């Protein structure tokens, strides 16, 4: 990671804080219904790390089992959505780009689960688009 980029973040109230020790290996906009419901937004922006590249500096998120394999992390104090963990991929941890102190440092590079994209949301960034996950049913 470049010395000039410091990736730290946390929840709205500051109860949860983290630091990334590397740049994310993937970044995306997720348009799935679960992300829409947990964020209250038409899409959520995520960044993916190996577990050992992200350090919790204070409290860890409380996790909710949103489906058979997925655990969504949030702050028990303020409710901020912070993390996503697929138990089938124990080496990876995903956190929201917007939970960064400086979210403008990381840009999403693809769109996933576009089959659930809001019809009124116009996207013209030219990034790759996937109807489901990035490895399933490519558009």
Tens digit of each residue's pLDDT (9 = 90 or more) over 8-58? 999 999 999 999 999 999 999 999 999 999 999 999 999 999 999 999 999
Number of Cβ atoms within 10 Å of the Cβ of 102: 11
Whether 4 maps to a domain, the answer reads no
Read off the CATH number of the domain in which 75 is found. Answer: 2.170.150.70
Q: Is residue 73 part of a domain?
A: yes
User: Measuring CA to CA, which residue among 45, 37, 3, 43 is closest to residue 22?
Assistant: 3
d(CA 99, CA 20): 12
Residue 75: is its pLDDT beyond 60?
A: yes
Does residue 91 fall inside a structural domain?
yes
Per-residue model confidence (pLDDT) at position 4 = 52
Note whether residue 132 is domain-resident: no
pLDDT tens track for 97-124: 999 999 999 999 999 999 999 999 999 9
Q: What is the pTM of this model?
A: 0.90
């Amino acid at each position: 990671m470049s010395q000039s980029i410091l990736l730290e973040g946390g929840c709205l109230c500051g109860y949860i804080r983290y630091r990334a020790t590397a740049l994310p290996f993937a970044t995306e906009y997720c348009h799935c219904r679960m992300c829409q419901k947990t964020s209250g937004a038409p899409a959520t922006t995520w960044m993916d790390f190996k577990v050992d590249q992200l350090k919790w500096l204070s409290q860890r998120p409380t996790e909710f089992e949103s489906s058979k394999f997925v655990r969504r992390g949030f702050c028990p104090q303020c409710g901020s959505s912070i993390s996503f963990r697929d138990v089938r991929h124990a080496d990876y941890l995903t956190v929201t780009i917007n939970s960064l102190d400086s979210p403008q440092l990381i840009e999403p590079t693809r769109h996933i689960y576009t089959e659930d994209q809001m019809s009124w949301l116009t996207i013209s960034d030219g990034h790759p688009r996937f109807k489901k996950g990035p490895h399933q049913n490519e558009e």
